[in-house]
């Protein structure tokens, strides 16, 4: 696909999952190519986007290892390449293997393609790399430096923003977005609430030649969020509740402070919804509950402790249940028309590895779309 033939800007979506970056970019953007190796995510992507093609048919979605994608597989020239590369090796919950880890090294499979496209004169004008905030500090900042070095060597200027999806949806989900471009950035650089301390510290660790290529992206704060966790839940009579014994066992796992927070709400008689995670603390399993109107960060359901539990207190009664896949989709800003896998585990697998669509939309409106429409202007020095 030639970007000049498309009605709007064109993008490639790598590590596409269920297409949440595409949903965030919106219909003004045209997806020319998408890739993911996971069969469940691939099936979900195809189920939601008619132009993606069938499993063995024509379409822009390519299922398979990014290392096996050839430059010839990518049509035309894109305005944007989006890469939500695997985050497990950067996560604080993982082994912190960094860019050399088995999963996150997939980034270099993606980057190999970007280098090849640039050699052909059709590299994307702008690249976004989305990952967990641990990317900024992995290996003492060496992995972030390696990423910035790769971008700079291909002529990109770059900067990072840390955005918590809680600004948009009732889920605590901080992520870092590295936005790199070869285009003019006048009017798009300046202060931003998303230039967090973690971002500033990461910038300070970079060598001088890379700080010279840095852009302090200006992105305004969104309007205050007006929904909480309770507003996104299914009706009580349409969900499966745990037994009283299971709920009691969950409460027994709580430290005194968390038990006290539950008891206060029991005594009030008012409805309260809490999100519960089970964690290991001092070698013991603990259940921790939050009543701030937010869910904890959604994860892929690899084990029982990774499934988020809801604690619902109403008129002094305490009940518990697992978060449903549809509720998880809402916490990612997806419409109810979004097609999920039939299995709750598969649905949460797709959702837990995704990017919150409203965050992408805010980035697109504030930075990515304005960049796409200045590609014919000369690059000016800051």
- Give yes or no: 297 in active site: no
Query: In sequence order, what DSSP letters do the residues of 289-320 get, joined into one string?
Result: EE-SS-BPPP---SSGGGS-EEEEEETTEEEE
Burial category of 316 from C-beta neighbours within 10 Å (exposed 0-12, middle 13-18, buried 19 and up): exposed
Cα(271)–Cα(289) distance, rounded to whole angstroms? 15
Catalytic residue, from 31, 87, 148, 297: name it.
Answer: 87
DSSP 360: H
Cα(235)–Cα(165) distance, rounded to whole angstroms? 24
Q: Which residues contact 216 (CB under 8 A, 6 or more apart)?
A: 159, 189, 190, 191, 192, 195
Query: In 133-243, where does DSSP find H-type helix?
Result: 142-153, 197-205, 208-211
> With contact defined as beta carbons under 8 Å apart, do 178 and 117 qualify?
no
Tokens standing for residue 203:
């910038």
The total number of residues shown for the chain amounts to 382
Helices 344-352 and 39-48, axial angle in degrees (round to 10): 90
Phi, then psi, of 27 in degrees rounded to 5: -70, -15
Q: Which residues contact 235 (CB under 8 A, 6 or more apart)?
A: none
Query: Could you count the other beta carbons within 10 Å of the beta carbon of residue 335?
Result: 9
- The residues assigned a catalytic role are 87
């Amino acid at each position: 696909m030639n970007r000049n033939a498309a009605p709007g800007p064109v993008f490639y979506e790598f590590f596409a999952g269920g297409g949440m970056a595409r949903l965030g970019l919106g219909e003004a953007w045209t997806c020319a190519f998408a890739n993911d190796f996971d069969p469940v995510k691939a099936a979900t992507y195809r189920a939601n986007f008619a132009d993606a093609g069938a499993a063995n048919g024509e379409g822009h979605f390519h299922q398979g290892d990014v290392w096996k994608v050839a430059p010839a597989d990518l049509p035309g020239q894109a305005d944007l390449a989006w890469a939500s590369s695997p985050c497990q090796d950067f996560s604080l919950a993982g082994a912190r293997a960094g860019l050399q880890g088995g999963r996150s090294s997939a980034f270099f499979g993606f980057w190999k393609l970007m280098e090849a496209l640039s050699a052909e004169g059709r590299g994307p004008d702008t690249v976004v790399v989305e990952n967990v905030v641990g990317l900024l500090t992995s290996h003492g900042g060496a992995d972030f430096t390696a990423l910035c070095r790769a971008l700079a060597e291909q002529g990109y200027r770059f900067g990072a923003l840390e955005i918590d999806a809680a600004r948009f949806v009732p889920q605590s989900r901080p992520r870092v977005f590295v936005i790199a471009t070869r285009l003019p950035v006048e009017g798009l650089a300046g202060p931003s609430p998303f230039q967090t301390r973690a971002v500033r510290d990461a910038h300070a660790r970079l060598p001088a030649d890379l700080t010279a290529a840095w852009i302090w992206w200006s992105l305004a704060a969104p309007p205050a969020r007006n929904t909480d966790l309770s507003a996104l839940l299914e009706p009580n009579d349409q969900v499966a509740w745990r037994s009283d014994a299971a709920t009691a066992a969950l409460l027994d796992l709580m430290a005194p402070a968390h038990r006290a927070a539950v008891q206060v709400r029991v005594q009030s008689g008012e409805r309260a919804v809490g999100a519960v995670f089970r964690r290991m603390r001092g070698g013991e399993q603990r259940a921790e509950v939050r009543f701030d109107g937010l869910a904890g960060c959604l994860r892929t359901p690899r084990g029982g402790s990774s499934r988020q539990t809801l604690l619902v207190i109403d008129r002094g009664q305490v009940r518990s249940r697992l978060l449903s896949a549809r509720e998880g989709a809402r916490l990612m800003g997806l419409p109810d028309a979004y097609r999920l896998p039939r299995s709750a585990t598969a649905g949460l697998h797709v959702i837990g590895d995704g990017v919150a669509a409203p965050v992408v939309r805010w980035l697109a409106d504030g930075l990515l779309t304005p960049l796409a429409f200045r590609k014919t202007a000369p690059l000016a020095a800051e």
